[in-house]
Structure 1
Amino acid sequence: MKLNPLQNIYSISRLNQSVKDLLNTHFLHVWVEGEISNFLQASSGHWYLKLKDDNAQVQCAMFKGANRHVRFKAKNGDQVLVKAKVSLYEPRGDYQLIIEQMESSGEGLLKQAFEKLKFKLAAEGLFGLERKKAIPSIINTVGLVTSAKGAALHDVLTVLKRRAPCINVIIYPTLVQGTNAADNIAHMINIANARAEVDTLVITRGGGSTEDLWSFNEEVVARAIANSHIPTISAVGHEVDVSISDLVADHRAPTPSAAAELISSSLIEQTQRLTQLRSDLIHAFNYLLNAKQNKANTLKNRLTATDPKFQLFTQQQKLDNYASQLHQQLKHIHNQHQTRLNQLSQRCIDASPEKSITTKGHLASQLQQRLHYAITDKYNLQQHKLVILSEKLQAYSPLLTLARGYSIAKNDKDQIIRSVSQANVNQSIDIMLADGSLKCNVTEIN
């Protein structure tokens, strides 16, 4: 029977889901170091960023339930070490890391090395309570593995001088930090055991940074302490500093001064010793609890692909992406409508009756002024013509002629007599002069 080749064709969704399942089951957890770039904190509280080195980069997401435990403010350019699960963001087909823990690079590497060695030594039983030796109730001589010039030596000697001046002190001087310090410390512990001249051995130094105290987290020191047949007390740094030496040693003192008080304890201080033993027990119990918790977390990670909470985070990531796209679209639509509104507003201004009335008013004012000028010019022209005509009229006026001494004769019919042939003897005629008229009677015609 032949198989239908179409049965082996993947849809994009099915392919992405298969790749995501493969990544989730194959990579339980990975530690990755890189530089933060494109850092974004979404409104949901989740972090989205990229981790990069000189040659590559990877997209990452850290959900708010995890990022609230980060002890520093993450920003672009930070060099960090992260613990993450490898996954795939299905909608875009993007390979990404889901970050669960984040440390600054230097601190994170040291912490990782610390946890790795602690797990290894615990598995060998070096932290077990059953192998820890009791501090002698009576101590005649104590050995100090520490710096000959350090504050720790001064603190121990000061407390012993005040509380137990009868106790002899043998100093095994050593480097307590730097490249060769761990080998130097282990060597001095071995020398003290070879000489067998002290009842209790105190491995100590004062406080400092994680890097300063790191020699006491080295395996060579831990094994030298574990192999010591002399009861050991580890007093490294301050009370908050817990080193591998503290876990391997028979007893841990929170400070160098506390170690001196422990080996010079009185009846009242025996109670303090019980408290310290209780603290050691709590540390050991916490370690075992952490080991069990790590195992539980490993089992839990296998269920990640079907974990509803993880699925919810994935959907939240999609929602953040859609929200960002929606915001951009709404902003684009708003800008389009604002541009259209501005155009319509300008058109309304251009078509405003007030503007038209103002324009027509200006035009009417101009026409009125032009009409005034035209009427004035026309009036002046007609006035000039009138003067000319008046002068012409004066030139041809009969009155002016009469004023020069001429007269006009009219018959009784008021007709002008222009020739003697029009007059008769004894005819009554009127003679018009410039200042009046005369009534005459024709007596003779020549």
Structure 2
Amino acid sequence: MPHPFPVNTLRLYVIPIYSTLLKPSNEIWRATYLSSRQTGLRIVATKGLPDWRAGQKRKARAILYGTSNPLRQVLSVSQLTAQVRVLIEDVFTDVYVVGEISNTKVYPSGHWYFSLKDKEATLPCVCFKTSNQAIKFRLEDGLMIVARGKLTVYPPRGAYQMVVNAVEPVGIGDWQLAFEQLKKQLESEGLLANARKRSLPLVPRRIGVVTSTAGAAIKDILSALKRRNKNVSIVIAPARVQGDGSAQEIAQALADLQTDPAIEVIIIARGGGSIEDLWSFNTETVARAVANCRVPIISGVGHETDVTICDLVADMRAPTPTAAAELVAKGRSEIAEKCDYFQGKLVTLMEGKLRSCRQSLLSLNPLSFLIAHEGRLKRHRLELKHQQERMIVMIARCLAEHRHRWRANAEKLASLGPLSVLRRGFSILRNRQGEVVCSVDQIEPGDELEALMEHGKLVLVVKAKSAEWQYPKERLNE
């Protein structure tokens, strides 16, 4: 594959910096080099030259021994960028850079992109997924770190950047920083609030335990439970408590124990160790599994001085695994003491309530109490009498109005009734069937009619009928 640099074969004196004397027989070798700029030479092949670039990290100076005129060549942008990239990658293969993080971005691919800056410069950086999986903490803007990696050039933008493979925070360890970051996140979600802590059952009948069956923690727990309460049953969900994958095993063990509806409380336990040994209990996986558990959880991880995220999320923290077992397996004497305590507290409260009621009764004057009620009764009697008088007046008024209305209607009915008409000389004619005769068309000569008058009736026989009649003239003159 042709190299983008113009190639010239020269004889060089390659002199390591650590040498104080020039020894041509030992320190001078032939070499083939590529010239890029007047500021540097790159040795690509040597004869007898130690591999100072790979292991010993020795610097060398190349002194021109012979010269030749280089071929004149016009470079494209890609060729020039490739030359710069080769130079930068060859010189800055393993560098440490301290700076402040800014413009942090985490892409769905898992790669981290950020910049390191100080007062005068900014360095773009990338940390690929294969490298950042070993970093315990999250990168945040404003965090001061020391990054280790190599420099390279990104040809599409023509900009140099640092490929980071390791990161260390400045002034605080990466383990402690990861702990503080997760603690802050869980606090913002309310998972560390005391309000969500649940109380432990007084006398649980079945207890779940999540720990390693090969450690001393399980032995301490079983010994404490046997010593204090033999009637409690134990369900053990074994899980690794350190190492890769242990956090997932602890979370799965918690999930398995929750399938047993008889379990009333769960103990998560592990013996003491370094922060690295206890790190499984500082992971977000375990913290969320503890927070989402349906039963109360006691965390007995490490010694009294060891504080983990699991301790902060759990409903109760015990300084040791033995103390965790003692919290849930109370002996008979402790239960009796607890009952005596509650009994004494109840008696004290009842006596205080009775004293308060007695004082309230003594503060009341029976005579004034009766007088106050007598006045109220007197006011109510007066009010009742007044309402009674008003009701009588309203009833009398209503009856008078109805009587008057009834009389008027009776007189009107009498004036319009048939008796008043008969009284004026009229009569009512009915045939044999009892039907009222209103027209001459309803009768024929010879029919027998009944005439109803004011004080009796007449039986009439029709001799003749006529459709015309005249009112008597003498009646008209009256």
> So what's the TM-score if we normalise by structure 1?
0.39
Decide which structure has greater helix share.
1
User: TM-score with structure 2 length normalisation?
Assistant: 0.36
Greater relative contact order, per chain length (Cα 8 Å cut-off, separation 6+): 1
